[in-house]
Copies of this chain bind each other. A is one copy, B any other.
């Protein structure tokens, strides 16, 4: 998930200075709301060393009512704590209903530092995932709000910060030998553990929010806005139900009439009234807009490398078949982004007995009678088969979300369901490749117009395409959420710059070759497909 985080996001000083006081006031107001509705608020700060956890907590609490929040800095367990189940010390620090607890590091140490530094046996920290899941579910079921923030900085930025602290005689105490060891020797181990943690513990009721923390101002604003929004949503979900202090019958609105309030699911899922919320200052990652959409592949070069790549893929198909490795390639992308042509080039030389292409449109009436994942489960490839899905389960968080074909509760739940689904496929040994074919709005318009004017291709352009275009910004939101929330270590997205079709086709081919090769092993031949192997994780 972290690979799609746009760390270049920043906020200018002017905007920041004028926004901060207002945000702090709104946070103070949110604190009141929590108190009024009796919502215990738990804010978890995790992140790389020197990512700014302490500074942000200081900033957050400046204007809060000190009687109703508490900060817990979590270090190594004390002897009395080490002798008890690892969650004991966190249960003790939970806020009463209405109060806010801010955790500077948390129970996630179990699956991070304790895991990577080998402080805890593998059997114990793997069980930690179960215990953390139970812990958070029990709390959110009981009406608690859990906001989990991961402060992300790059390795380079971390080095810069550690060095700066180290060189300052008044701050050098903040940097320990362990910090440097972690930075120099364990960075990759941590990165792997973090990816797994984010994927395994990002539940619907207690999701992680990734904070792009290279720019202090951007991070501060995003953190404020995330917490404010979460509390306001939770309070709104409680509706007129004031106070949660008395756990008597009906006290939480869940008795008899399972209406809003009282349980975590409702809190997390109640449709927030977006119009009532101020437009956030910390905007979403401009990931897609920042792609270099001008890249092209000259025709001659394309003609020269296409066939060798196709041949290499054919060869890999054979090896995957022999080794019984299943391969699943998912194509998603804007209308007119060139999925069909791209797939055609990919499959050009494949052995037709061993691959299949399935295009998914709206579910049939039979399919509608099943879980939305059912038809995709049905079609997954067996060992040795290569399947290409033209559109996929991502329809749930794209078209179904934007067009209202499913409820907000349903599409919000889907990110976790999809990550679980793909995790099960990957665990079973499947090579999973996911393409997002990206084109600019201008290029899309050009292609639409060209189709409209072409008597052989105008059938490809429907009124619906034009309607979708009108909803561009809604779709863009959905695409960004999708890329951010479903790019996992085991099933990363590859965003393909597709304004230039030859470029897009070659990138898809090379990515596919690299991914299959990583699973079945190379053949030692030098070929066009190897040069850009690193591209895959872009």
A residues sitting closer than 8 Å to B (CB atoms) are: 38, 40, 80, 83-88, 91-92, 94, 96-98, 127, 131, 134, 138-139, 141-142, 144, 245-250, 252, 254-260, 262-263, 265-266, 269-271, 324, 326, 363, 365-366, 368-374, 377-378, 380, 382-384, 404-410, 413, 417, 420, 424-425, 427-428, 430
Q: Give the CA-CA distance A30 to B245 in the complex, in Å.
A: 40
Q: Give the CA-CA distance A408 to B380 in the complex, in Å.
A: 41
Q: Give the CA-CA distance A265 to B204 in the complex, in Å.
A: 14
Q: Give the CA-CA distance A131 to B423 in the complex, in Å.
A: 9
- Whether A88 pairs with B245 at a CB distance below 8 angstroms is no
Q: Give the CA-CA distance A420 to B87 in the complex, in Å.
A: 12
- Whether B382 pairs with A80 at a CB distance below 8 angstroms is yes
Q: Give the CA-CA distance A437 to B247 in the complex, in Å.
A: 28
List residues of chain B with CB within 8 A of the CB of A85: 380, 424-425, 427-428, 430
Output the least CB separation between A364 and chain B (Å): 11
- Whether B371 pairs with A407 at a CB distance below 8 angstroms is no
- Whether A142 pairs with B371 at a CB distance below 8 angstroms is yes
Stoichiometry, as copies per complex, reads 2
Q: Give the CA-CA distance A88 to B377 in the complex, in Å.
A: 6
- Whether B91 pairs with A378 at a CB distance below 8 angstroms is yes
List residues of chain B with CB within 8 A of the CB of A87: 377, 424
- Whether A247 pairs with B94 at a CB distance below 8 angstroms is no
Closest to A381 in B: B84
Interface residues of chain A: helix, strand, loop or mixed (majority):
loop
List residues of chain B with CB within 8 A of the CB of A259: 258-259
Given contacts A260-B258, A265-B263, contact A247 B372 (CB under 8 A): yes
Pick the contact of A249 from B80, B384, B404 — CB < 8 Å? B404
Pick the contact of A96 from B38, B246, B369 — CB < 8 Å? B369
- Whether B410 pairs with A96 at a CB distance below 8 angstroms is no
- Whether A420 pairs with B369 at a CB distance below 8 angstroms is no
List residues of chain B with CB within 8 A of the CB of A131: 424, 427
List residues of chain B with CB within 8 A of the CB of A142: 371-372
Q: Give the CA-CA distance A409 to B262 in the complex, in Å.
A: 10
Output the least CB separation between A387 and chain B (Å): 11
Output the least CB separation between A288 and chain B (Å): 27
Q: Give the CA-CA distance A370 to B368 in the complex, in Å.
A: 42
List residues of chain B with CB within 8 A of the CB of A410: 247, 254
List residues of chain B with CB within 8 A of the CB of A405: 247-249
Closest to A383 in B: B83
- Whether B258 pairs with A370 at a CB distance below 8 angstroms is no
Given contacts A425-B85, A428-B85, contact A370 B420 (CB under 8 A): no
Output the least CB separation between A424 and chain B (Å): 5
Given contacts A138-B420, A378-B91, contact A409 B83 (CB under 8 A): no
- Whether B249 pairs with A368 at a CB distance below 8 angstroms is no
Q: Give the CA-CA distance A97 to B366 in the complex, in Å.
A: 9
A-B contacts besides A257-B260, A262-B407, 12 pairs, CB < 8 Å: A40-B370, A83-B383, A87-B377, A87-B424, A91-B378, A92-B377, A127-B427, A141-B417, A142-B371, A254-B407, A255-B271, A259-B259
Nearest first, the 7 A-B pairs at minimum CB distance are A96-B369, A83-B383, A91-B377, A85-B428, A255-B407, A134-B420, A249-B404
